Chain A
Amino acid sequence: MTDDTTDTDLLNTPLHGRHVSLGGRMVPFAGYAMPVQYARGIIAEHKWTRENAGLFDVSHMGQCWLVGPDHATTAAAIETLVPGDVAGLQPGAIRYTQFLTGEGGIIDDLMITRPSDPALDGRLFLVVNAARKDVDYAHMRARLPGGIALEPIEDRALLALQGPKAENVMARHCGAAVDLAFMTAADADFDGIACHISRSGYTGEDGFEISVPADKAGMLWDTLMAASEVESIGLGARDTLRLEAGLCLYGHDIDETTSPIEAALTWSIGKRRRDEGGFPGYERIRRELTDGPSRRRVGIRPDGRAPAREGTEITVSDIPVGRVTSGGFGPTVGGPVAMGYVETAHSAVGTELILTVRGRAEAARVSKLPFVPNQYKR
């Protein structure tokens, strides 16, 4: 969901050797050396994921526990930092939400899981963006009340298996995974390896995210890669897949200046939270819910073939109305796709926009998101 890069002292995930031996082109990403693509290339990897099952190493993301005395107490504590309904999570359910600034800007977006195991009552499992984990952890430590502990998990890898054939592959090694519905999770054995398995992902496809002890990650990777339906997929295709799925990339489509309402993430704020507030930036969010935000994140489809990249200026009748925040080529769409913010008056689907690409005016229009229908198993 983010991609700040630095060249010095790159960290390796437990699967680094696998990426290198598979011909992965390693690039700096959020402080880690990560594969942007393998030999087959981004378009082939993207299409493979939409049609079969793609295996992603997302071990760079931040996994951590929040530990409190019981669910109500821990949920109440985290709800002071996020607008999502955490108290109402059923055991085994996952919520997508955001850490917010006092002004309602987004510090990071994250997944929160309430463990299904009653023995873990009072714990919440969080997954945050790699480039934001230090910020997030400091943010939580400074604000969580006494009695709620933050425990970063440094000894586990995270793999994502995504695509229509992911379920078939998982069924052969972990029957319990198949019983999970979208946005639920459970602890389960995968060929005898104790894993935490979520039915979730960031591609718009059905799929699983598997948290596994770091020393077993290679074994799990090799087992999944041995399946004929599975190919390894790099960050390049992860980006085109999430863009087609209309999902936000932190630091691009959302940041500390954008609110969840502007970012079209209103769905992630539960009714109780909208009514009661009690989270940072509630004043702005309540105002934007009532009056509408001044700008909105929208999908954008250029009429022509030239991709419109991040930063491209958007105009209507020669007046600037916004900017592209993510843009490129959508392999499944078969043409350029983008997302960006436009003034609300110009945000209706079908609105004609002009994108300035290398000084040239390129016609485009506001498009429904996602660009490719979601295939989640509800």
Chain B
Amino acid sequence: MSTYFTKDHEWIRVDGDVGTIGITEYAQEQLGDVVFVELPDVGKAMSPGDEAGVVESVKAASEIYAPVSGEVVEVNAALADEPAKVNVAAESDGWFIKLKIADKSQLDELMDAEAYKAYVASVS
């Protein structure tokens, strides 16, 4: 399994053809307390940059974007009752959706953990 990161502060962990997507620890900290998460329907097809959900903090709503093309195969239903999971476990239990990846070559456009760390340092 390898994990990739986007400039929108999302991560995608790839296991075979399926990528699990969430927001990074840095992103959850910037957002503050998450109070609502809106997720897409299972079966929805996504292209890179498509809206893959909305995460709302106390202050504001932010979009989540699909980092690669694919079809939504699962959403994290637990976030409906416990949106704060995004704060306490952004890069594990607080995942948003699972995508069946259509074109794995798109992953090459994303950052690895080290590159993302440097990116965060450059923007914060």
A residues near B, CB below 8 A? 36-37, 41-44, 236, 240, 305-307, 309, 328-329, 331, 336, 358
Q: Determine which residue in B36, B54, B61, B80 has the highest number of CB atoms from chain A within 10 A of its CB, and name it.
A: B36
B60 CB, nearest partner CB in chain A, Å: 8
A-B contact pairs, 22 of them (CB 8 A): A36-B59, A41-B32, A41-B33, A42-B33, A43-B35, A43-B58, A44-B33, A236-B58, A236-B59, A240-B58, A305-B80, A306-B36, A306-B38, A306-B56, A307-B36, A307-B56, A307-B61, A309-B60, A328-B35, A329-B35, A336-B36, A358-B38
Instruction: Verify A328–B54 contact, CB threshold 8 A.
Output: no
List 14 additional A-B contacts (Cβ < 8 Å) besides A41-B33, A307-B36: A36-B59, A41-B32, A42-B33, A43-B58, A44-B33, A240-B58, A305-B35, A306-B36, A306-B38, A307-B61, A309-B61, A328-B59, A329-B35, A336-B36
Residues of B within 8 A of A358 (CB): 38, 54
Instruction: Verify A42–B59 contact, CB threshold 8 A.
Output: yes
Residues of B within 8 A of A306 (CB): 36, 38, 56
Residues of B within 8 A of A42 (CB): 32-33, 58-59
Q: Scan residues 25-50 of chain B and give those whose CB is less than 8 A from a CB of chain A.
A: 32-33, 35-36, 38
Instruction: Verify B35–A307 contact, CB threshold 8 A.
Output: yes
User: How many angstroms from the CA of A258 to the CA of B56 in the assembled complex?
Assistant: 29
A-B contact count (CB 8 A): 40
A189 CB, nearest partner CB in chain B, Å: 38
CB-CB contacts of B67-110 with A at 8 A, as 1s and 0s? 00000000000001000000000000000000000000000000
Instruction: Verify A37–B35 contact, CB threshold 8 A.
Output: no
Residues of A within 8 A of B36 (CB): 305-307, 329, 336
B103 CB, nearest partner CB in chain A, Å: 28
B27 CB, nearest partner CB in chain A, Å: 15
* With known contacts A328-B58, A328-B59, A329-B58, A236–B35 Cβ distance under 8 A: no
User: How many angstroms from the CA of A37 to the CA of B60 in the assembled complex?
Assistant: 14
Residues of A within 8 A of B59 (CB): 36, 42, 236, 328
Whose C-beta in chain A lies nearest to the C-beta of B30?
Answer: A25
Residues of A within 8 A of B54 (CB): 358
Instruction: Verify B33–A43 contact, CB threshold 8 A.
Output: yes
Q: Determine which residue in B58, B61, B80 has the highest number of CB atoms from chain A within 10 A of its CB, and name it.
A: B58
Residues of A within 8 A of B35 (CB): 43, 305, 307, 328-329, 336
A298 CB, nearest partner CB in chain B, Å: 22
Instruction: Verify A37–B32 contact, CB threshold 8 A.
Output: yes
Q: Determine which residue in A36, A37, A307 has the highest number of CB atoms from chain B within 10 A of its CB, and name it.
A: A307
B109 CB, nearest partner CB in chain A, Å: 28
A368 CB, nearest partner CB in chain B, Å: 22
Residues of B within 8 A of A305 (CB): 35-36, 80
Whose C-beta in chain A lies nearest to the C-beta of B33?
Answer: A43
B52 CB, nearest partner CB in chain A, Å: 13
User: How many angstroms from the CA of A44 to the CA of B88 in the assembled complex?
Assistant: 14
User: How many angstroms from the CA of A329 to the CA of B58 in the assembled complex?
Assistant: 6
Q: Scan residues 6-36 of chain B and give those whose CB is less than 8 A from a CB of chain A.
A: 32-33, 35-36
User: How many angstroms from the CA of A309 to the CA of B60 in the assembled complex?
Assistant: 8
Residues of A within 8 A of B38 (CB): 306, 358
User: How many angstroms from the CA of A331 to the CA of B36 in the assembled complex?
Assistant: 12
Whose C-beta in chain A lies nearest to the C-beta of B83?
Answer: A305
User: How many angstroms from the CA of A307 to the CA of B34 in the assembled complex?
Assistant: 11
A15 CB, nearest partner CB in chain B, Å: 21
* With known contacts A307-B56, A358-B54, A236–B61 Cβ distance under 8 A: no
Whose C-beta in chain B lies nearest to the C-beta of A328?
Answer: B58
Q: Determine which residue in B32, B38, B59, B61 has the highest number of CB atoms from chain A within 10 A of its CB, and name it.
A: B59
User: How many angstroms from the CA of A140 to the CA of B32 in the assembled complex?
Assistant: 40
Whose C-beta in chain B lies nearest to the C-beta of A37?
Answer: B32
Residues of A within 8 A of B61 (CB): 307, 309
User: How many angstroms from the CA of A336 to the CA of B60 in the assembled complex?
Assistant: 12
Residues of B within 8 A of A240 (CB): 58
Residues of A within 8 A of B32 (CB): 37, 41-42, 236
Residues of A within 8 A of B33 (CB): 41-44
Q: Determine which residue in A41, A44, A236, A329 has the highest number of CB atoms from chain B within 10 A of its CB, and name it.
A: A329
A159 CB, nearest partner CB in chain B, Å: 23
User: How many angstroms from the CA of A331 to the CA of B34 in the assembled complex?
Assistant: 11
Whose C-beta in chain A lies nearest to the C-beta of B61?
Answer: A309
Whose C-beta in chain A lies nearest to the C-beta of B54?
Answer: A358
Whose C-beta in chain A lies nearest to the C-beta of B81?
Answer: A305
A345 CB, nearest partner CB in chain B, Å: 30
